[in-house]
Chains A and B, each alone.
Chain A
């Protein structure tokens, strides 16, 4: 079993008992076919959308991008055992995957094959998935930026959903609603954030200080869940701050600093 760098202090706040993406990848180097397939399917589930968005930004139409996505995962990820060749000490898995994808696209273009790149025994049933259109807001992105855009969007959706569920499961849905109204909704809807006075009136909170504390509490929790989620995708001995800088750098505009 991999002796991956588990920086765990038993029961400590920075416990990394959770299985990192890299640990899963290493575990995919197993002769147990059932386990390998399950792990790889999990990774494909996480990365198919960024791959598809990358291809759309490359200029492929919906059907071609779909075929190439399926072809990439089947021929390269599974067929050439890409995951097993990944070196977790060297780079982010995302970077590694993107490099392989880039090469695959170049190779496909070179071959100029007319055959439908839809392998038998599809491992990815994209036919039944409502494939996303690359949004207008992201239409100027390079293919690499498109890949990162889709990846970041999925990550944000996941952690926002997770924190929302947490607060509702604790009977504190109003905490989430207050935070969302003040911090997230204005970004999503491109509107001015409501004032604390307006928040208090809408959600029946006695005073502005309390509303402010609620917002800070949820923000802190979001940060903690975000850090935990991101930790899964960095190689050992890298830190989350570095990964965050990398994510921001790959988003054009304000993000690229």
Chain B
């Protein structure tokens, strides 16, 4: 994440001004004019929220055996508190953890109660598959490369997908294309 440069840091403002900024942040959605939140925006925001979350501990415990957990405990120690976005974009993230993210997204999708929730869960699902392919050259999905190529092609064009994830999808699509070609 980029830091706000020195010029725009709030450190140095008077306490009154800090309070003014706090109030802006906490204001309810009283729009200056009527504002309808469209579905694309909802998905963009929900995906950002999901990517900023950390992997739930309970989920990761239930999905892995004690043996595997013990082996992974060192890795878990290193990633505690890491947002999912960082895990997906980090070549050091182990394949086991990427699979946990994929499982987590499947669970999100299962309980989704809206199109936005379903589609953002789907995006994370494919982001996990992409991460495994790009950084580990491993396919963690039963879908064929052809099917994955098709799915990533669709996702790349979605405007609610943030740039860094879209770029990873582009790279993944290329990899899938290579695998199809050389099969």
A contacts, CB < 8 Å to B: 1, 6, 9-13, 15, 17-19, 23-24, 27, 32, 34-35, 38-39, 42, 132, 135, 137-138, 141, 145, 149-150, 152-154, 156-157, 159-162, 164-166, 168-171, 183-184, 187-188, 190, 209, 212-213, 215-217, 219-224, 226-228, 244, 247-248, 251-255
A156 / chain B contacts, CB cutoff of 8 Å:
10, 18, 21-22, 25
Within 8 A of A (CB), among B46-66: 46, 48-49, 52-59, 61
B157 / chain A contacts, CB cutoff of 8 Å:
none
Chain B residue total in the interface (Cβ 8 A) = 69
Whether the pair A150, B11 counts as a contact (CB closer than 8 A) is yes
Sample of 7 more A-B contacts, CB < 8 Å, known A6-B56, A169-B164: A157-B9, A159-B25, A160-B8, A161-B2, A219-B31, A223-B25, A251-B16
Q: Quick one: closest B residue to A156, CB to CB? A: B10
Q: Given the interface contacts A209-B33, A219-B24, A219-B29, does A11 sit within 8 Å of B113 by beta carbon?
A: yes
Whether the pair B11, A24 counts as a contact (CB closer than 8 A) is no
Q: Given the interface contacts A38-B77, A212-B31, does A157 sit within 8 Å of B10 by beta carbon?
A: yes
B111 / chain A contacts, CB cutoff of 8 Å:
9-12
Whether the pair A164, B4 counts as a contact (CB closer than 8 A) is yes
| B 125-151 to A, binary, CB cutoff 8 A, 1 in contact else 0 | 000000000000000000000000000
* CB contact between A166 and one of B18, B48, B58, B61 (< 8 Å): that residue: B48
**Could you tell me the distance between the alpha carbons of A51 and B119 in the complex, rounded to whole angstroms?**
43
* CB contact between A226 and one of B19, B25, B46, B110 (< 8 Å): that residue: B25
B contacts, CB < 8 Å to A: 1-4, 8-35, 37, 41, 44-46, 48-49, 52-59, 61, 73-74, 76-78, 80-81, 107-113, 117, 121, 159-160, 162-164
Query: Could you tell me the distance in whole angstroms from the C-beta of A241 to the nearest C-beta in chain B?
Result: 8
Whether the pair A10, B107 counts as a contact (CB closer than 8 A) is yes
Query: Could you tell me the distance in whole angstroms from the C-beta of A9 to the nearest C-beta in chain B?
Result: 8
Q: Given the interface contacts A169-B162, A223-B28, does A255 sit within 8 Å of B22 by beta carbon?
A: yes
Query: Could you tell me the distance in whole angstroms from the C-beta of A113 to the nearest C-beta in chain B?
Result: 31
* In the complex, the 4 A-B pairs of residues with the closest C-beta atoms, listed nearest first: A216-B31, A255-B19, A10-B111, A226-B25
**Could you tell me the distance between the alpha carbons of A215 and B33 in the complex, rounded to whole angstroms?**
10
A248 / chain B contacts, CB cutoff of 8 Å:
19, 22-23
**Could you tell me the distance between the alpha carbons of A227 and B25 in the complex, rounded to whole angstroms?**
8
Whether the pair B45, A161 counts as a contact (CB closer than 8 A) is no
Q: Quick one: closest B residue to A228, CB to CB? A: B49
A162 / chain B contacts, CB cutoff of 8 Å:
1, 52
Whether the pair B18, A216 counts as a contact (CB closer than 8 A) is no
Whether the pair A212, B32 counts as a contact (CB closer than 8 A) is yes
Q: Quick one: closest A residue to B33, CB to CB? A: A212
B15 / chain A contacts, CB cutoff of 8 Å:
137-138, 141, 145, 149, 251-255
Whether the pair A138, B117 counts as a contact (CB closer than 8 A) is no
B37 / chain A contacts, CB cutoff of 8 Å:
217, 220
Q: Given the interface contacts A10-B107, A10-B111, A222-B24, does A32 sit within 8 Å of B33 by beta carbon?
A: no
* CB contact between B24 and one of A12, A141, A183, A190 (< 8 Å): that residue: A183
**Could you tell me the distance between the alpha carbons of A142 and B52 in the complex, rounded to whole angstroms?**
35
Whether the pair B26, A226 counts as a contact (CB closer than 8 A) is yes
**Could you tell me the distance between the alpha carbons of A135 and B13 in the complex, rounded to whole angstroms?**
8
